[in-house]
Amino acid sequence: MAGGGILFVPERKLNYIEGYVGIEKIIRIWRERFKIGFYAVGSLANKYNNPYQIKFGLNQFNKRTNSWY
């Protein structure tokens, strides 16, 4: 999994850019499917100084809409 995002907020003079790469695994617990992910994130911002982070994600599959929450 890879992706990124850009956020510009002129009212607060905030510019934020981030990119991430990671791995995801679908697991089954009883009859429900979950997607677990671990990501390494790098970011640039004019107001914050936290360039590298590790993030964790957990999503459940919705059978009615056939999509991940």
Q: Rounded to whole angstroms, how far apart are CA atoms 33 and 2?
A: 21
- Distance set, CA 52 to CA 10, 33, 43 (Å): 24, 30, 7
- For every one of its 69 residues, what pLDDT tens digit does the chain have, with 9 covering 90 and above? 999 999 999 998 999 999 999 999 999 999 899 999 999 999 999 887 878 999 999 999 998 999 987
The terminus-to-terminus CA distance of the chain in angstroms comes to: 17
Q: Rounded to whole angstroms, how far apart are CA atoms 3 and 42?
A: 11
Give the start-to-end residue ranges of the domains of the chain: 2-68
